[in-house]
Structure 1
Amino acid sequence: MPPAPRPPRWLLRKPQDDAPARLFCLPYSGTGASMYHRWPQRVGPAEVIRIQLPGRENRLREPHYGTYEELAGPLTEALLPYLDRPFGFFGHCAGALPGFAAALHLYEQGLPTPDAVFISSQVSPHDGPYGRFLGLTDDELAVELTALVRAMGGEPHPALIDMSLGVLRGDVEANRAYHLDKPVRLPGALYAVGWDADKEIRPGQMTGWDQYAAPGRCHLSVLPGEHYAFLDAPEALTSLLGEAMQRALDEHGGADAADSVA
């Protein structure tokens, strides 16, 4: 029997052919796809697919992607074979903006666009850039990275922190460079997710996302938890994601659509 084909370098594993829908998850600043190791393999009908960006983990030797606009083209080209069924993008904080930029690129190129874009703890592009990390020195970023590694369940090693600091700085600079002069309305649904104890981005700062979807297609939710609560895939979040992806599947014809792509 020939060996199974290797997944694209952008993905930790090849998506399953029998998944009715797909949810592509982008990593938080300074981290890789393994940050989603506590997440389930599916939320509702959607397979959770973790995206690996250049310069981290198994792509450590590759240079940083640069800006979100420079990332969007290669990323969406790699994902295109897997956009053959209802799909969504999820990202938290600065990790949400590459997902939005990818969705915008797909829309501008006339390619399949996400049925749902999930924005967790991030202001809209015309309200940004915004965030405490933008003003931190490298030493201060190292402290934040250490806290993040612990929040992910790891034990920070000084050499690992030093290695990851360059990636984090690149991600921060990409965030700093991203701004839209005015909102762009995407065709799919948009879900802006805030957290009631989040000290980095308050839910009230996320209302600008309402202009990035058609009337009635933007949903603002406030979930219980602090900034890193999403790492544990709390039930409130996975339920929201699962219900939204089921709604997207239903809009495509439900089980009949799933059968046609299986």
Structure 2
Amino acid sequence: MRTTRTRWLTREPAPAATARVFLLPYAGCGAGLFRNWPKERGPVDLLPVELPGRETRLGEPVPGTFQELASAMADALEPCLDVPYALFGHCWSALVAYEAAVQLQARGHAPARLFVSSQVAPQDGPVGRMLGMTDDEMAGELGTTIRALGGQPHPELVALYTRVLRADVDASRRYVVPEPVRVSCPVTAIGWTDDDEVAPASMRGWPVCGDTEFVVLDGAHHRFLDAPRELLDVLCGPLH
């Protein structure tokens, strides 16, 4: 493996790993979203991705489009792709993961798997209740996420991340893809039984983007934050 020191990852990939799953945080959040996740599952390395404009990269500009973000991320991750790898995105970041898969495929480094959780297919959007939210409502959403992770919202930090969330949601609004590129890797579309934001039935468009397996897990929209065992089974099983 070539040198992999990059600001896009919170730690260096484990050299002994036989596969990797890159974990993309959703809108307005950084890699700390995966603080409750293990670092590995057997021989599979679980690597949170740090996106521009948040946490350790707070001073960097937030890319204006999913394609721009995916291209920059693909540049950074290429040195880490010496073993089979997958991309996991939840909600907003599922579309970033898809765009990264498209770009890496074009470069000859297609993922072994694309995991998209709680998100409609590119051609079926943009959708989502945040598209119509005010900044105050977005700040409330961020507070909910911080509490779900066991923290207490700090007003100045929430105000800072509300600007990031607004930029992310605006990128989602601009993301209109009537004819998505089909990826060569299998796609696993993950729905959640009690998800009141993205119902599993609304994800039926993903086969347009690639050969798709549908999985529905128990829980609500944010259950993935606690790395439930059955989700880790879905992510790591195909890579063993």
Question: Would the TM-score normalized by the shorter structure come out above 0.5?
Answer: yes
Structure 1 contact 115–189 (Cα < 8 Å) conserved: yes
Offset at residue 242 of structure 1 (A): 1.6
- The alpha-carbon distance between structure 1 residues 6 and 70, as it changes in their structure 2 partners (threshold 3 A), is closer
**Aligned counterpart for 2:49 among listed residues 34, 48, 51:** 51
Distance 1:15 1:53 in 2: 17
Partner of 2:123: 126
Distance 2:113 2:5 in 1: 24
Offset at residue 152 of structure 1 (A): 1.5
- The alpha-carbon distance between structure 1 residues 43 and 210, as it changes in their structure 2 partners (threshold 3 A), is farther
Partner of 2:152: 155
**Aligned counterpart for 1:93 among listed residues 87, 91, 94:** 91
1:170-249 equivalence runs, <5 A: 170-214=167-211, 218-246=212-240
Distance 2:118 2:42 in 1: 22
Q: Provide the TM-score with structure 2 as the length reference.
A: 0.96
Moved more, 72-81 or 35-44: 35-44
Distance 1:6 1:114 in 2: 17
Partner of 1:61: 59
Moved more, 145-154 or 196-205: 145-154
Structure 1 contact 15–82 (Cα < 8 Å) conserved: yes
Structure 2 contact 4–79 (Cα < 8 Å) conserved: no
DSSP-derived class of the 1:90 partner: strand
Letter aligned with residue 157 of structure 1: H
**Aligned counterpart for 1:116 among listed residues 109, 113, 116:** 113
Structure 1 contact 12–33 (Cα < 8 Å) conserved: yes
- The alpha-carbon distance between structure 1 residues 134 and 10, as it changes in their structure 2 partners (threshold 3 A), is same
Offset at residue 126 of structure 1 (A): 0.2
Offset at residue 212 of structure 1 (A): 1.5
**What 5-or-longer segments of structure 2 have no aligned partner?**
none
Structure 2 contact 87–114 (Cα < 8 Å) conserved: yes
Letter aligned with residue 231 of structure 2: L
Structure 2 contact 123–177 (Cα < 8 Å) conserved: yes
DSSP-derived class of the 2:194 partner: coil
Distance 1:158 1:84 in 2: 42
**Aligned counterpart for 1:165 among listed residues 162, 169, 172:** 162
Letter aligned with residue 141 of structure 1: M
Verify: 1:137 aligned to 2:134, yes or no.
Answer: yes
Structure 1 contact 45–245 (Cα < 8 Å) conserved: no
Q: Provide the TM-score with structure 1 as the length reference.
A: 0.88
Distance 2:18 2:83 in 1: 7
Question: Which structure 1 residue ranges, 4+ long, deviate > 6 Å from structure 2?
Answer: none
**What 5-or-longer segments of structure 1 have no aligned partner?**
247-262
Structure 1 contact 124–209 (Cα < 8 Å) conserved: yes
Question: Which whole-Å deviations, capped at 9, do the CAs of 1:209-243 have from their partners, x for residues lacking one?
Answer: 012213xxx11011000010000001110111121
Partner of 1:24: 22
Moved more, 190-199 or 70-79: 70-79
Number of aligned residue pairs: give it: 238
Offset at residue 44 of structure 1 (A): 4.5
Offset at residue 107 of structure 1 (A): 2.0
Distance 2:185 2:41 in 1: 19
What percent identity do the matched residue pairs reach?
45
The alignment yields a C-alpha RMSD, in angstroms, of 1.3
Letter aligned with residue 132 of structure 2: G
Distance 1:147 1:114 in 2: 33
Structure 2 contact 4–80 (Cα < 8 Å) conserved: no
Verify: 1:107 aligned to 2:105, yes or no.
Answer: yes
Letter aligned with residue 236 of structure 1: E
